[in-house]
């Protein structure tokens, strides 16, 4: 079936969206480039313009993950003379990048949508953390995007430190591609640029100050995203305040995102299975199908751990992430159940009041 919206191909539109899009008559298509509270910046083949959500859409969708985020495709109404478009529908997402909301709330927070590849950025200097890296990898894989690890600030460490970090990544059974880069010497920048393909969408995530915005500015060839100088320790100072989708001269689309202190996991069973593939393969040999790998007899995972075929760190990381994912998934399901019950209660009260 031919693509009905060939003019949007450069913005990441593919046959997959063409087969799933169901906009209303007269509606146009656009992609979300940024979200500023109740106003969105969207782009189509003519350029960027502002848009807002229709009241009917807000009435039907109350959950945060149901609202458009950067990278989403939307159906909207906009006349040539209008300055602002009116969004009426959110198209189905091909991939998602989300985390458990920071703090006490048991909800998903959308980071980006329809991303092809996510660059997980860590500084070789002070930011490198294998357990945090596994956490990012689980959620990236769970959302369906391809992960790539980007180690920055290589000019601040010796070759032996970088080699040790690369060895730690491979010893943890992490199979994602790894790139290294220095924003100062620009070593590795050409290789990164060759990785970015036209009409594909890439998102850069990581802690504050690891150089995400500086990297994108290098790729753009201009200071489109604000950055600050490094501190006395050589670490950057966080300045990105919103997620934003930008189009590079070479045709790739990239999303910068604010640094994240927390990256909570919730309901990420698929991501866990894919990221810890060695443990998943061993689990197929457990005596019980619902084995928790924490003490049951006939557990192939524990047997491999006891035989030294798996590191204690890798096992502990898997168990910790799995238990966190399951705990918050159950909490989220319970919250949704209570919300539905409360909604039915309110409706019944309204019906009773209407009788009088």
pLDDT in tens, 262-313: 677 777 788 888 888 888 899 999 999 889 999 889 999 999 999 998 889 8
- The closest alpha carbon to 130, from 165, 180, 178, 177, belongs to 165
Domain segments of the chain as ranges: 6-90, 96-256, 269-350
Matching residue, tokens 């019906």: 351
Q: What is the per-residue pLDDT across 211-265, written as a single tens digit (0 to 9) for each?
A: 888 899 999 886 655 555 444 444 444 455 678 999 999 999 999 887 766 677 7
* Contact indicator for 107, 65 with CB cutoff of 8 Å: yes
Distance CA 232, CA 351 (A): 65
Decide if pLDDT at 126 tops 60.
yes
Q: Which two tokens stand for residue 270?
A: 């698929």
Average pLDDT across the chain, whole number = 85
Q: Return the CATH number of the domain spanning residue range 269-350.
A: 1.10.40.50
| DSSP strand pairing (201-206 vs 253-256) | parallel
At residue 133, φ and ψ (nearest 5 deg) are -60, -45
Pick the CATH number of 6-90 from 3.40.50.720, 3.40.1170.60, 3.30.365.10, 2.40.50.140: 2.40.50.140
**In Å, what is the CA distance from 109 to each residue of 40, 112, 265?**
17, 9, 11
Give the helix ranges, DSSP H, for 102-158: 130-142
Q: How many C-beta neighbours within 10 Å does residue 150 have? A: 25
* Contact indicator for 118, 76 with CB cutoff of 8 Å: no
Angle between helices 130-142 and 159-171 (to 10 degrees): 50
| DSSP strand pairing (47-53 vs 117-123) | unpaired
Q: Give CA 7 to chain center in angstroms.
A: 26
pTM: 0.82
Q: What is the pLDDT of residue 240?
A: 52
Q: What's the CATH class of domain 96-256? A: alpha beta
Distance CA 115, CA 101 (A): 20
Decide if pLDDT at 15 tops 50.
yes
């Amino acid at each position: 079936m031919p693509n009905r919206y060939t003019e949007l191909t450069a913005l990441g539109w593919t046959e997959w969206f063409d087969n799933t899009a169901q906009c209303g008559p007269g509606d146009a298509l656009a992609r979300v480039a940024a979200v500023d509270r109740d106003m969105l910046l969207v782009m189509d083949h003519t350029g960027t313009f502002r848009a807002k959500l229709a009241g009917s859409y807000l009435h039907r969708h109350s959950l945060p993950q149901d609202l458009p985020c950067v990278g989403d495709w939307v159906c909207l109404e906009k006349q040539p003379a209008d300055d602002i478009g009116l969004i009426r529908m959110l198209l189905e997402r091909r991939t998602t990048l989300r985390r458990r909301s920071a703090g006490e709330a048991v909800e998903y927070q959308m980071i980006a949508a329809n991303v092809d590849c996510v660059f997980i950025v860590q500084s070789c200097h002070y930011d490198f953390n294998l357990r945090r890296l596994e956490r990012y990898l689980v959620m990236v894989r769970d959302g369906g995007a391809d992960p790539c690890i980007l180690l920055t600030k290589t000019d601040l460490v010796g070759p032996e430190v970088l080699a040790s970090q690369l060895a730690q990544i491979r010893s943890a059974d992490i199979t994602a591609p790894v790139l290294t880069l220095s924003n100062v010497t620009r070593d590795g920048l050409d290789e990164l640029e060759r990785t970015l393909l036209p009409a594909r969408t890439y998102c850069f995530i990581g802690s504050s100050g690891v150089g995400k915005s500086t990297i994108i500015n290098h790729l753009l060839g201009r200071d489109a995203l604000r950055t600050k100088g490094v501190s006395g320790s050589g670490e950057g100072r966080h300045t990105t305040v919103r997620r934003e989708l930008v189009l590079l001269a070479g045709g790739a689309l990239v999303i910068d995102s604010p640094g994240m202190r927390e990256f909570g996991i919730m309901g990420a069973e698929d991501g866990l299975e894919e990221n810890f593939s060695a443990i998943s393969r061993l689990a197929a040999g457990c005596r019980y199908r619902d084995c928790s790998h924490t003490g049951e007899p006939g557990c192939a995972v524990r047997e491999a751990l006891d035989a030294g075929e798996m590191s204690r760190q890798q096992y502990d990381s898997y168990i910790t992430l799995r238990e966190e994912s399951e705990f918050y998934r159950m909490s989220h399901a319970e919250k949704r159940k209570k919300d539905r019950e409360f909604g039915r209660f309110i409706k019944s009260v309204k019906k009773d009041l209407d009788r009088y």
